[in-house]
Structure 1
Amino acid sequence: MATGAVTSVFLLFALYIVSGFGMAGIGMGVMHDAIHGSYSKNKRVNTILGYSFNLIGANATVWRIQHNILHHTYTNIDNADDDLNAPFFLRFSPHAKHYWLHQFQHIYIWFFYGISTISWITTKDFVRLKRYKNMGYLNKKHEYIKAFTSMTAWKLLYFSYALLLPMLMISLPWWLILLAFISMHFITGLLVSIVFQMAHIMPENEFPLPNKEGMMKVDWYGHQFATTCNFSLNNKLLFWFIGGLNYQIEHHVLPDVCHVHYKKLAKIVSQTAHEFGFPYNVKRTLFQAIKDHIIMLRLLGKKIVEKQSIVELTTNFN
C-alpha cells in the first residue's frame, strides 16, 4: 500500500482488512508466546519477536505487566486482573459495580471489542504505563522514562508506515485511508478481544475473591482451572491462527510452554484436573463458546453475583 500502487478503494480496504487478520495472527501466534518466553529456548529470540507487538502499534512492556503478571497471577480476581478492568459501561465481573445500561452490553460490546486496539495504540498504553509505574512495576532508576520514550518512538514509527506513508503515496482521499486503517484495527480488536475474553468470561468460570487476610481458598493451579475455559479443540485452522489459545487451560497452567505442545499436553492436564477434583471447562465449538460468552455478558448485565444463580440462569437462557 505504501508504494502508491493501490488506486482502487475496494483493494485499499481489502488489503487493510487482510492486514487486520495478519496483525491478530502476529499478536496471538508470535508475540504472545515470545513475551511469555515460550516461543524459543533462546531468550534473545523471544525478546526480538516480542517487539513484533511494537511493530503493530501496541507495546511489549505494557503487555508483559498487564498480561503476564496481572492477568496470569490474578485471573478473574476483581480489581487485580487487568483484563476485568473496564470503563463503567462494561461489566466483566459479578463483583464490579452494576449500572442499568449493562443490561444491553451483550449488544454493544462488539463495537468496543472492535475499537480496543485503536485504544491501545493511541491512549491506553500510556495510561497503563503510568498506572503500572504508580503500582511499583517500573521503579528502577529512569525505567519509566525509558519505557515512555521507547513507547513513543515505536508508536511514531508505526503510525508513519501504517497510516502517514499510505496517505502520502496513495492517490486516494486521506479520509478513505483513515477509514481503511480503522477497519483494519476493528478486525484485529474484535478477534483478539473475543479470544481472550471468551476464555474467562463464561458462566462456568469462577470470579473468586480473597478473604480478609488476602488469601485465596485454593492454590494457584486450582484457581487457573476454575477461572479458565477451552473451546473448539478439534479446529486445526483456529488452533493455527490464534496460536493455540483455544487451549487456554493448558496455557494458564503452563504459561512458559510453547503453544505447539498444547494438544499433546491437553490429555495430561485434563486427567490431572479430574484427579484433583478441579473443573476442566471445554466448549465443543467456537459457536458454542461465543454463545455462552454472550449469555455471561447478559447475566452480568442483570447483576448476577451468586454462582448458583449464574448456573440457573444459564440453563434458562439455553
Structure 2
Amino acid sequence: MLNQERLSLEPILLKTETSGLADEEDCGRSVSLEELRSAHTSKQAWVSVDGVVHDLTKFRAQHPGGSDFISMSAGKDVSKLFDTYHGLRQRRILRKYGIGKLIGQDLPTFPPADDFWLTLRQRVDEHFELAKIDRKHSPNTLRRYALTVLVICCLYWMQWTLMSPSWSFYSISVAYGVALAQYCVSAIHDGSHGAIGRDPRLWKLLLIGHDCFNGCSSTLWIYQHVMSHHIFPNIDGFDTDIETAKIGFRRIKSTQKYFDFYRLQALYAPILYVLLACSVRMDDFIFYFTKRRGPLTVNPFTLSQDVVFWGGKLFFVLTRIILPLSLWGASMTRVIAAFFLTDFTFSIVLATIFQATHVVDSAAFPRINPKTGNIDTDWARIQVETAQDYAHDQPLTTLFSGSLNYQVVHHLFPTVAQEHIPALGPIVRQTAKEFGVKYEVKDSLWSAVGGHIGLLRMLGTPPSSH
C-alpha cells in the first residue's frame, strides 16, 4: 500500500519539484546560448535542463551512467533526454549543480506532461512494483547476447577455415549478415539505452561490437538514435533518422522538394536499402570531422571514444578483408563477394525492422509551431502517434526484432529490458484508448512494411501544384 501511495504521488511531486527547481535557481547568473554551447570540453561540461544551466564538470566522473554520456551531452539542452532516463531522485541531485538561467532557447520545448503520460507512467511503475521485477534485469537477454556473439564467431570461422563449396560459402555469408543484424537489434540497441543491467561498463562493452563487428561508430549512433530520434521522432529538422539531402534518393516527408524520379521510389528505394551499412560507415567520417550530426554538435571525442572509433574501423577491415586474404589465402573474388553479400543482408534486415516503425503512412510527422518555435503536443503523445507497432501476438517476430515490434512501448520506456517490453503493450494500448491517443498496431511485419511502401507511394505521387 505504501509503495502504491508513493507511485501515485510521484507525478505530482515531480511537477512541483521541477517547478521549484527552476524558481529556486532563477536567482543565479544569466548564461547565454553561446556560453552553453562552448562548454563541451574535457575541462568544462555544462548542460541545460528546463532553462536552468548546470555545471556537471566535477560530476562527470561520478555519473552512474558513465562519464561518456555527460561528455556527449555537454553544451546542449538535454531537458527531455534527462526526463526520459531520470526520475525525481536525480532531479534532486541535479539541483546541486545549477549555476544560472539560460538566456535564449537551444531546442524546441514540449508542453508539460498531460494526464495520459502521468497515468501511463504510474501504471507501468505499478506493474513492475507489483510483479517485483527490475525493469533492467534480464538474464535471458544476456544469454541471447552471448549466443549471438557465439554464432557470429562460429559463422566467421566456418566461412574462412572450411573453404566450403560456393553454395554453402555464400549461404554462410547470408547467415552471418542475419546474425550481425540480430546483435544490432539486441545488444547494441539495449546498450545505447542502458536498458540492460545498471553497469555502464556492460553497456560500453555491448556497444563496442557495433564498431568492431559492423564497422559503424557506436558513439555517433548514440547521437543519432538516443539524443535525436528518441527525443524528436519524425520532427523535421530535429530527428536525424528522417534527415535528407536536398536531392535525396527518396522522398519520405512532405517538406522535401518533389522530383519526377520519385514516382518510382516505392520500387527502387527498398532495393537501395542494401547500401545502408556502407552509407553509415562513410557518414561516420563526415560526422567525425565536421563535428555535426544533423542538428546536434558532435563534441570532441574522449580518448576512449577515439580508441573505439579508430580501433573498430581497423578491426572491421582486418577481419572482413585482410585476414581472409592473408591468413586463409581466400581469393579476392570470394572475399569481396562475401563482404557485400553479408553487408547487403545485414542492411536489408535492419532496414526492414526500422523503416516499418516510423517511416510509414499511418505515422504522424509533427510540425514546429512557427510562431513559438516549440511543439504544441505533449512528448508522450508524440511518441505514440509517430510510430506503429506490429505482430504483438507473434513471439518469433518479437524475438527477431529485439522487441522493436513494440516500437511505441520502447519509445515511451527506452530503459526497459527487451524481455519485459511485451508485457507493457496492453497497458499502453488501454491507456491510449482511454485518453484518445491514436495507437497503431499492425497484424504482422509485412503489413507494417506495407505501411512504409504506402508512404513511398503517397509521397512519390506528384503534388497537385507540381
Offset at 1:174? 0.6
Partner in structure 1 of residue 260 of structure 2: 100
Q: Is the 8 A contact 1:133 1:144 kept in 2?
A: no
Q: Is the 8 A contact 1:24 1:192 kept in 2?
A: yes
Partner in structure 1 of residue 285 of structure 2: 126
Deviation per residue, 1:145-173 (Å, 9 max, x gap): 87456422211111101222112244442
- Out of 345, 369, 376, the residue aligned to residue 217 of structure 1 is 376
Offset at 1:303? 4.9
Q: Secondary structure at the match of 1:246?
A: helix
CA pair 263-136 structure 1, distance change in 2 beyond 3 A: closer
Q: Is the 8 A contact 1:34 1:47 kept in 2?
A: yes
1:177 matched to 2:335? The reply is yes
Greater displacement, 157-166 / 78-87: 78-87
Partner in structure 2 of residue 89 of structure 1: 249
Offset at 1:132? 4.5
Q: What amino acid does structure 2 have at the position aligned with 1:4? A: T
Counterpart CA distance in 1 for 2:397 and 2:322 is: 33
Partner in structure 2 of residue 275 of structure 1: 434
Q: Secondary structure at the match of 1:143?
A: coil
What's the TM-score, normalizing by structure 1?
0.88
| Structure having greater relative contact order (Cα 8 Å, sep ≥ 6) | 1
Partner in structure 1 of residue 272 of structure 2: 112
- Out of 50, 63, 77, the residue aligned to residue 207 of structure 2 is 50
Q: Secondary structure at the match of 1:89?
A: coil
CA pair 131-200 structure 1, distance change in 2 beyond 3 A: farther
**Overall identity of the aligned pairs, in %:** 26
Offset at 1:27? 0.1
Partner in structure 2 of residue 311 of structure 1: none
Counterpart CA distance in 1 for 2:435 and 2:399 is: 30
Q: Secondary structure at the match of 1:247?
A: helix
Offset at 1:7? 4.3
Q: Is the 8 A contact 2:229 2:241 kept in 1?
A: yes
Deviation per residue, 1:93-148 (Å, 9 max, x gap): 12222211111111111222111012223x11112334544755333xx5378745
Q: What amino acid does structure 2 have at the position aligned with 1:249? A: V
- Out of 178, 191, 195, the residue aligned to residue 21 of structure 1 is 178
Unaligned runs of at least 5 residues, structure 2: 1-155
Q: Secondary structure at the match of 2:241?
A: coil
Partner in structure 1 of residue 443 of structure 2: 284
Partner in structure 1 of residue 226 of structure 2: 68
Deviation per residue, 1:29-75 (Å, 9 max, x gap): 11101111002222221121121211221111010000011111110
Q: Secondary structure at the match of 2:322?
A: helix
Greater displacement, 221-230 / 3-12: 3-12
Greater displacement, 15-24 / 267-276: 267-276
Q: What amino acid does structure 2 have at the position aligned with 1:45? A: L
Partner in structure 2 of residue 313 of structure 1: none
Offset at 1:235? 1.6
- Out of 351, 357, 364, the residue aligned to residue 206 of structure 1 is 364
- Out of 165, 183, 188, the residue aligned to residue 31 of structure 1 is 188
Relative to total residues, which structure has the larger strand share, 1 or 2?
A: 2
Greater displacement, 184-193 / 110-119: 110-119
Partner in structure 1 of residue 137 of structure 2: none
CA pair 91-130 structure 1, distance change in 2 beyond 3 A: farther
CA pair 265-19 structure 1, distance change in 2 beyond 3 A: same
Greater displacement, 24-33 / 106-115: 106-115
Q: What amino acid does structure 1 have at the position aligned with 2:425? A: A
Provide the aligned C-alpha RMSD in A: 2.1
Offset at 1:5? 2.7
1:78 matched to 2:240? The reply is no
Counterpart CA distance in 1 for 2:161 and 2:223 is: 39
Q: Secondary structure at the match of 1:230?
A: strand
Offset at 1:271? 1.3
CA pair 215-258 structure 1, distance change in 2 beyond 3 A: same
CA pair 298-219 structure 1, distance change in 2 beyond 3 A: same
CA pair 163-211 structure 1, distance change in 2 beyond 3 A: same
CA pair 197-97 structure 1, distance change in 2 beyond 3 A: same
Q: What amino acid does structure 1 have at the position aligned with 2:406? A: Y
Q: Is the 8 A contact 2:324 2:330 kept in 1?
A: no
Q: Secondary structure at the match of 2:337?
A: helix
Counterpart CA distance in 2 for 1:84 and 1:158 is: 27
| Number of equivalenced pairs | 302
What's the TM-score, normalizing by structure 2?
0.61
CA pair 294-161 structure 1, distance change in 2 beyond 3 A: same
Unaligned runs of at least 5 residues, structure 1: 306-318
Counterpart CA distance in 2 for 1:276 and 1:71 is: 25
